[in-house]
Amino acid sequence: MHWYEKLNQYFPIEEMKSKEHIETLLKERKDIYHKDEGPNHVLMYVELENFVFIDYLFVSKNARGQGLGHKLLDKLKQKRKPIILEVEPVDYEDTDTEKRLKFYKREGFEHAKSIGYARRSLATNKLNEMEILFWSPLQESEDLVFDAMKKTYTMIHTYKDQKFYGASYQPVEEVLTLREDEQKDMLENI
C-alpha cells in the first residue's frame, strides 16, 4: 500500500493534507520536510534549527506493541531538539485516541497547557480542535512551543493552501492562541 493511503486510512479527514500538498512539501520544502517510511510505518516531520514537528506518525496495526514507534521517536530525540506534535483530544468512543495519548505520555511528552489550537477544516467545514504535545530535552518553555507551532502552521500547514484546496485556512492568529489563565500561571512561575 502506498504511504499516502496508509496515512489517509488512519488519520481523520480533518487532519489530512492532500497527497499533492504533501508531495509538494517533500519536493519544494525538502530542506525541512521529511518522510521516513518502512513496511510498517510512515513518519512525516519538519525539522528546523530549534525544533522538530511531527506531522504524521503511522505504525501499522500488526507492528504495534513491538517498539517501532519508540524507535522512531528515539531517532528524533537524538537530534536533541524539542519535538512537537498535534493530537486529537481523547474520545472515549474511539479507543485509539486514548492509546495514542498514553503512548506519547510514556515517551515523555507533555501537554502544552497554555496553547489552544482550533482550525476549521476545509474538507468538512467543522472546527477541529487539537491538543499540542511536546518533548523537550532542555525543559524549554511553552513559549518556544507556541512560536514553533506558528512557524509550522504558516510554513507547512497552509503552504500553497489556496492552490491545493481552492480556499485558504484561517490566519495563524485565529487558530493558535495562548490561554489567558495559563499565561498568568506561566508569568507567576518566572
Cell of 94: 474511539
Number of domains in the chain: 1
User: What are the pLDDT digits (tens) for 96-131?
Assistant: 767 888 999 999 999 999 999 999 999 888 999 999
- Which domain, by its residues, includes 68? 3-188
pLDDT at res. 110: 95
* Spatial distance between the Cα atoms of 25 and 19, rounded to a whole number of angstroms: 10
User: What are the pLDDT digits (tens) for 151-188?
Assistant: 999 999 999 999 999 999 999 999 999 986 544 454 45
pLDDT at res. 183: 46
The pairing of beta strand 83-87 with beta strand 51-59: parallel
Task: Please determine, for residue 32, whether its predicted confidence score (pLDDT) is greater than 60.
Answer: yes
CATH of the domain at 84: 3.40.630.30
pLDDT at res. 188: 52
Opening angle at CA 129, ends 101 and 190, nearest 5: 75
